[in-house]
Structure 1
Amino acid sequence: MKNDANVVHLNKMVSEAAHPAASRLPASLIQVRDRAATQLKQALQALFDNADDTLFDMADRATSNAEQNAFFEAMRDLRLKRKGIERGFLQRVFESFAGLNQHVVGKAPTLDAVSFDSLSLVQNDELEETVALDSMIAKVLSRDHVALTHLTTRLNAVVSKKLDDKSNPLGPVSLSELFLESCSGLGVEIKVKLIILKLFEKYVLSGLEQLYADANAVLVEAGVLPELKAVVPRRNATPNRPERSERTEQVDGFERSTSFADDDVREVFSALQELLSQTRDGLAPRRQAPANAMPISTNDLMRLLSHLQQRAPIQAPMDVDLRSQLEHLLTRASAKSGRVRVVGEVDEDVINLVSMLFEFILDDRSLPDSLKALIARLQIPMLKVAVLDKTFFSRGSHPARRLLNEIATAALGWGEHDSSQRDSLYQKIEQVVQRLLNDFTDDPAIFSELLADFLAFTGDERRRSELLEQRTRDAEEGSARAEMARREVEQALNERLLGKTLPEVVVRLLREAWSKVMMLTCLKHGTDSEQWQSSLATMDELIWSVEPHDNPEARLRLLELVPGLLKALREGMASAAFDPFSTSEFFSQLEALHVQAFQRFKRAIPDVERAAPTESDEVQRSALSAVGIELPLLDLQLEEDSSISAMVEVVEEIVLEAPGQTRIEEEEPVIALDDEAMLHVDALRVGSWVEFQEDEEHKLRCKLAAIIKPTGKYIFVNRTGMKVLEKTRVGLALEFRRNAVRLLDDALLFDRALESVIGNLRRLKGA
């Protein structure tokens, strides 16, 4: 008999318990939900699959160690919580569908526009997040408004709750809110959070057009409002509000409409013009032109600059005066037209600013002179960009500006001795410069292309150098640990042996063999470990066992001690892989020493006392026999072997040397901790670039890769990550004292140049 109709499946019970309203959803709506969930799950997986690469690229371009660590921590946090975020998001989507037939729904959406009156109450991070969300949602509503509206209308036809585009469970507002809730457990900075939101926009929100098309198709097939026809929406311009340009820019990986930045751009450039206007007589004098002078158009100026660019010599001198070259061309143009032609005021201000920027750049001591000549040839292309796009001065992420910064950063570690003909970095920079001179006319997109290519090149180089640099650090830290272990062993040996007279074989055994066992123990377990204390105890027992003793109790202790002592010595030397032949030789001589010690005890005992061996003697004899020592017969008198029992007095400190090395202790002068040179050393940080003046002609550029605290060594590497120099703290201070080393400024070149120009203009204004 079949009872299937009465069987309730456990999975169904769990599902309905979790979503009590789900069972009341129409079949068509369940199909919409399930299809949407599948697509959203795939989109989220794509998001997280690409998040690692995106955050790694951001870390690669980080300008500080703190910023780089923040990105690496975010990568780790995201990996750990990825599954939870995916499950939580999809769970919330299911719950939002489950509530569609409920009359009372949870909280209202929280992504409404923020009023200007309340902006002062919103924290900066929250404001940035809100602005990013509003931008993302606005794009979806602009692109998919009709499809979303049709979906909302159809949902209203089959569910009891009144919906709008904001409360639609598949709308961009709801989905963004659910994703934010799912990510609430991420402990990341706002910069990382904005990157994650951008990835959500790219991989999830960008696919909503297809999701809405599929959802509408399912509902139409089910007969829900099939008469709704998709039409192309007509955009009505808001009165008193002109339509914004669709042109966008890339800012740290985020697209942002340039119109949002227009006011800031005008403000920055106007401020620069204002400073220039008040200092022109002292810094950038304007040529007096007749009243009938005719300013050339920006297009004409671009043609003149392109003319200069195409005729620029391959090895351009660094002191080229671009303004005088333009003056010469304008004079020729004026002679042909019969009317004085001049550069317009705005364009002339741009020319003056770019000229001053390059004057700073080419005077900058952080750039190698041989690469300055290459960078000098970028002046005309950079000027053309600035003429076309004034955001060049105000936007740190401008591709042309970033390209210049990236070239300067890569060149920081380039040494004058590097062969420019063979060096890949020099050739890459030369290739970029030549491409700009040959191909750049008036389309700034070439800078984005060259920037991406150059970042890929430097990224590969950086990863290779970081790998070698890490190996260098590991090797130096390993050497430092070995050096500290040697010193610990030296100290232990000297504390126990210095001033004592002992058999020569024991001194050699401790110095040549047991010292290696102790070093290995120190490296593996440290000086606070039980193993280290055990190795010290074994050494103490060995020394005691070969020292002369007269009291009968010493004989009993020696009988008890020797078996365990020899066993510990054998095991220790075996663990240190000490030469087996030498080990056998040492033990042979050591056993002879112990036999002699037992014989001395027996000769000191009266004949009556040693007439009858005791049971204890037999037990100890068996124990000694087990480790290879056969005591001679009691009445046998052995002659002492003088070569075995040769005694030496340890009068000099024991110094252990690393294999293949000789330690030379150099006495360094004492420098006060508050000495200016010492303060310069203490200000150095790992990653700092410095330049050493080796002699009158040669300089060495290198980066501080590690400070090995146990030994006090400062390890420097070149730009490939190879070790080129090591200095002690005092040795480095002496280099600073004689001005043979200077710190290279690794801040962004263009930003430093712009800051310097503004500072100079302000000083002239105040003069």
Structure 2
Amino acid sequence: MHKEGKVVPLVAAIDRGGRAPLPCLPVLLLQVRDKAALQLRQGLQDLFDNADDTLFEMADKAFDRGDQNLYFEAMRDLRLKRKSIERGFLDTFYDTFARIGQADLLAPLVDPVSSRTKGQIERAAAVEGMVARVLSRDGIALQQLGLRLQVLLDRPVFEQYNPLGPAALCDYFLDAGRSLGVGLRVKLVLLKLFERYVLRDADVIYGEANQLLAAAGVLPELQPAPRRRAEDRRMPARRGPVQLGQEVDADAAGQAFFASLQTLLAPLRGQFAPRLQAVAAAQPISSADLLRLLSHLQRYAPASHEADDFDLGQQLEQLLLRVSVRSGTRRRLSVADEDMINLVGLLFAFIHNDDNLPASLRALIAHLHIPLLKVALLDKGLFSRSSHPARRLLNEIAGAAIGWECGGEGLRDSLHLRVQRIVQRLLNDFAEDASLFTELLEDFLAFNQDERRRNELLEQRTRDAEEGRARALQARQQVQQVLNQRLRGRVLPQVVVQMLVQAWSQVLLLAWLKQSEASQAWQDALQAMDTLLASITPTHEPQALLQQVPGLLKALRDGLASVALDSQATREFFLQLEQLHLRACAGAAQQPGGESQPSSDVLVAEEIVLAIAEEPACAPLRIDDGQAGALRQAQRLRIGTWVEVFDEGEPLRCKLVARIAASDRLVFANRTGMKVREWSSTSLAKALQRNEVRVLDDGLLFERALEAVLDGLRT
């Protein structure tokens, strides 16, 4: 066993030179170990696959920004150290298994309860609860495993020294996770996930180990423990297999709807499998036989890059010819089945050409043609019930994936992979059982809810940032306005002008942003600026000036401290201000060119523009009369509307996430919530008019397709 580079906690407390060599384990025991390791590795992978979503959900629910950052940092740390934790867990497991049955040499070195911190006590309590739940559920199987290990090793194996015991498994995980720089709350969350994804399968580990040892003749007389899991007991009873065909009679509306369409579908008859349908003497094949033929074609559905070469009519015609040859009787499709095949074909033709859907999604949905056709043949309620699981699954997939970009390189994300798995599962497993669609729909809804919550949180951050940006811009423009009103066109000391523009503008910004224009803080900051300007004007009433100076100096010091102005710069300003006040008191008698002469005066001739000020991202544009309709469309866009942008090489799909009324800005983000575009209402109207942007129809896919097919048939 390789142990190079392995770090074992407290290893310094053990005399390495005095350690006895590891005993050779029986081959049977090695098989038990390796089977358990495979199961544990899979459980750890499930844990880390779901940890991101769990921590993200907790960040979503956190009210404090500090707590949100805590969970986001934990997500990042967990991603970086995932592999090392998995490796450390399994290394410790293998190392402990090599010493199976030996006393734990590290046990005397564990800190007593009295010396534990509050966090350690909480963590220990959580572990004890987890261990107790496993023992109450799978204690019998664990005891039987312990007895078999004793017989195999010919020495006692106490429960606390069993390397597969729940306490030992928790210790491995805590040991491996010591390098994680996360707080107690996150550690408790990870322990809960460890229980959910690793300890929940303890009965499988114990059952397989017992079965392996019993088959090899180790205490075969022990009665197998019942293998029940807590999750199985909590889970509602599975519905028995429901055949879609059982619902056909119950859904009279679906039958009536299809019957009303058959007249419209009549002109299409004979186009599908024409060589067979044209033979009047041919006997119609039963619907059950047709379903079997479709299932055969479904199992051999082509790969995505070959989908365009797959002609369902051609393939089905060849199978019918083969059936005719084998049976000695010409066979064809019944009229009702042919009409249904034509109707579903029209639906998928619409979907194939619907450019509201990303091209990658259309390619995936094309593979569902045969499964959806089989559903329609079995249950015509597909067309009359919006709640039909197959119909809802198609709509949910299309709705969730509308933001996919058309480029093929960036599609290996969790949503794309999930849809691929759903399609593959239907192609492999769907025969005639409706529960598969229901199961896949429930799984996808749960997955999509997590995705939506994650994206909504990121979109909210984008919204908050843009609203903050607009508010900051408004504040800066207001500060620029009051500075220009008081300074522009006047001759003032340069040091005062520099302080007001560079430092006091920040005081004004802070007051406006924190407490608004109507606040006392804003009024006090303006008053201090006005008093400062009045105090440096030469006066013949020095006594009045001397009365104002103490309050003025205090207001200036407090304001400059609030924006953390450099202390040296503050000191120099007040020294020069003192000279200015002396000059003001001296009035016209102040001698020019004297030693007390402060910095030179300057004429503020140009408009003051703060260095941090921003121009509006979307400058106002004039709208032409012909663009009035496009302007109304831009102004009426609802939050959440998807658009496609064509101003660059690859089309870009983005969603309206914020409408900033103060600056007339529409902010768009991609599917992950990252801002990618912004327009004013006018500039967006011009882009819509020039077809550089188009609004996507994100309505329910099945409903849109059915409505378009019906309109086409009627015309």
Q: Same fold (TM over 0.5)?
A: yes
Q: Please state which band the TM-score falls in when normalised by the shorter chain.
A: 0.5 to 0.7
- Alpha-carbon deviation of 1:672? 4.5
1:425 paired residue number? 415
1:726 paired residue number? 678
Residue deviations 1:568-587 (CA, integer Å, cap 9, x gap): 11122222333322222211
CA contact (8 A) 1:420 1:427 kept: no
Residue deviations 1:20-69 (CA, integer Å, cap 9, x gap): xxxxxxxxxxxxxxxxxxxxxxxxxxxxxxxxxxxxx9xxxxxxxxxxxx
**In structure 1, distance between residues paired with 2:507 and 2:702:** 58
The one-letter code of the counterpart of 2:684 is L
2:259 paired residue number? 270
* Structure 1 residues 59-138: aligned runs within 5 Å: none
1:28 paired residue number? none
CA contact (8 A) 1:420 1:426 kept: no
- Alpha-carbon deviation of 1:338? 2.7
**In structure 2, distance between residues paired with 1:745 and 1:665:** 28
Flag the 1:666–1:427 CA change in 2: closer, same or farther, 3 A.
closer
1:593 paired residue number? 580
CA contact (8 A) 1:248 1:258 kept: no
**In structure 1, distance between residues paired with 2:511 and 2:371:** 64
CA contact (8 A) 1:347 1:387 kept: yes
* Structure 1 residues 286-685: aligned runs within 5 Å: 288-315=277-304, 316-318=306-308, 320-417=310-407, 419=409, 422-549=412-539, 552=540, 554-600=541-587, 603=589, 640-641=594-595, 644-658=598-612, 663=615, 669-672=621-624, 675-685=628-638
- Alpha-carbon deviation of 1:542? 1.3
**In structure 1, distance between residues paired with 2:566 and 2:640:** 43
Flag the 1:260–1:571 CA change in 2: closer, same or farther, 3 A.
farther
Structure 1: which 5+ residue stretches go unaligned?
Answer: 1-56, 58-245, 251-256, 605-636
The residue matched to 1:714 in structure 2 has which SS? strand
Q: Does structure 1 residue 687 correspond to structure 2 residue 640? A: yes
Flag the 1:642–1:755 CA change in 2: closer, same or farther, 3 A.
farther
1:703 paired residue number? 655
**In structure 2, distance between residues paired with 1:692 and 1:372:** 19
Flag the 1:682–1:271 CA change in 2: closer, same or farther, 3 A.
same
The residue matched to 1:560 in structure 2 has which SS? helix
Residue deviations 1:599-625 (CA, integer Å, cap 9, x gap): 237x49xxxxxxxxxxxxxxxxxxxxx
The residue matched to 1:375 in structure 2 has which SS? helix
- Alpha-carbon deviation of 1:399? 0.9
- Alpha-carbon deviation of 1:750? 0.7
**In structure 2, distance between residues paired with 1:745 and 1:563:** 67
- Alpha-carbon deviation of 1:414? 0.6
**In structure 2, distance between residues paired with 1:702 and 1:482:** 25
* Structure 1 residues 136-147: aligned runs within 5 Å: none
Residue deviations 1:440-480 (CA, integer Å, cap 9, x gap): 12212111111112222222221111111111111111111
The one-letter code of the counterpart of 1:681 is A
The residue matched to 1:509 in structure 2 has which SS? helix
Q: Does structure 1 residue 280 correspond to structure 2 residue 234? A: no
The one-letter code of the counterpart of 2:335 is E
**In structure 1, distance between residues paired with 2:602 and 2:691:** 52
**In structure 2, distance between residues paired with 1:638 and 1:692:** 66
CA contact (8 A) 2:668 2:675 kept: yes
Please give the TM-score of this superposition, normalised by the length of structure 2.
0.62
**In structure 2, distance between residues paired with 1:527 and 1:418:** 50
**In structure 2, distance between residues paired with 1:432 and 1:758:** 28
The one-letter code of the counterpart of 1:275 is L
Which of 747, 751, 766 pairs up with 2:699?
747
The one-letter code of the counterpart of 2:289 is D
1:147 paired residue number? none
- Alpha-carbon deviation of 1:307? 1.3
The one-letter code of the counterpart of 2:415 is L
- Alpha-carbon deviation of 1:354? 0.6
- Alpha-carbon deviation of 1:389? 0.9
2:102 paired residue number? none
1:117 paired residue number? none
- Alpha-carbon deviation of 1:663? 5.0
The one-letter code of the counterpart of 1:566 is L
CA contact (8 A) 1:503 1:648 kept: yes
The more displaced of 393-402 and 676-685 is: 676-685
**In structure 2, distance between residues paired with 1:572 and 1:688:** 45
1:230 paired residue number? none
- Alpha-carbon deviation of 1:438? 0.9
Identity of aligned residues (%): 51
Residue deviations 1:355-383 (CA, integer Å, cap 9, x gap): 01000001000111122111101100110
CA contact (8 A) 2:298 2:427 kept: yes
1:51 paired residue number? none
- Alpha-carbon deviation of 1:248? 12
**In structure 1, distance between residues paired with 2:321 and 2:632:** 56
**In structure 2, distance between residues paired with 1:646 and 1:664:** 36
**In structure 2, distance between residues paired with 1:458 and 1:724:** 23
- Alpha-carbon deviation of 1:297? 0.9
The residue matched to 1:506 in structure 2 has which SS? helix
Structure 2: which 5+ residue stretches go unaligned?
Answer: 1-56, 58-238
Please give the TM-score of this superposition, normalised by the length of structure 1.
0.58
**In structure 1, distance between residues paired with 2:473 and 2:607:** 17
Residue deviations 1:609-650 (CA, integer Å, cap 9, x gap): xxxxxxxxxxxxxxxxxxxxxxxxxxxx99744762411111
Flag the 1:344–1:575 CA change in 2: closer, same or farther, 3 A.
same
Flag the 1:749–1:491 CA change in 2: closer, same or farther, 3 A.
same
**In structure 1, distance between residues paired with 2:449 and 2:565:** 46
CA contact (8 A) 1:704 1:716 kept: yes
CA contact (8 A) 1:502 1:649 kept: yes
CA contact (8 A) 1:525 1:532 kept: yes
* Structure 1 residues 750-761: aligned runs within 5 Å: 750-761=702-713
- Alpha-carbon deviation of 1:327? 2.2
**In structure 2, distance between residues paired with 1:420 and 1:706:** 25
The one-letter code of the counterpart of 1:584 is R
Residue deviations 1:369-425 (CA, integer Å, cap 9, x gap): 122111101100110111111111111111111111111112200112352563222
Flag the 1:639–1:391 CA change in 2: closer, same or farther, 3 A.
same
Flag the 1:443–1:282 CA change in 2: closer, same or farther, 3 A.
closer
- Alpha-carbon deviation of 1:737? 2.7
**In structure 1, distance between residues paired with 2:592 and 2:603:** 26
CA contact (8 A) 2:639 2:658 kept: yes
Residue deviations 1:320-344 (CA, integer Å, cap 9, x gap): 4323322232223223323221111
* Structure 1 residues 19-58: aligned runs within 5 Å: none
**In structure 1, distance between residues paired with 2:434 and 2:474:** 58
CA contact (8 A) 1:371 1:411 kept: yes
**In structure 1, distance between residues paired with 2:248 and 2:431:** 24
Residue deviations 1:228-247 (CA, integer Å, cap 9, x gap): xxxxxxxxxxxxxxxxxx99
Q: Which has the larger radius of gyration?
A: 1
**In structure 1, distance between residues paired with 2:667 and 2:270:** 47
The one-letter code of the counterpart of 1:292 is A
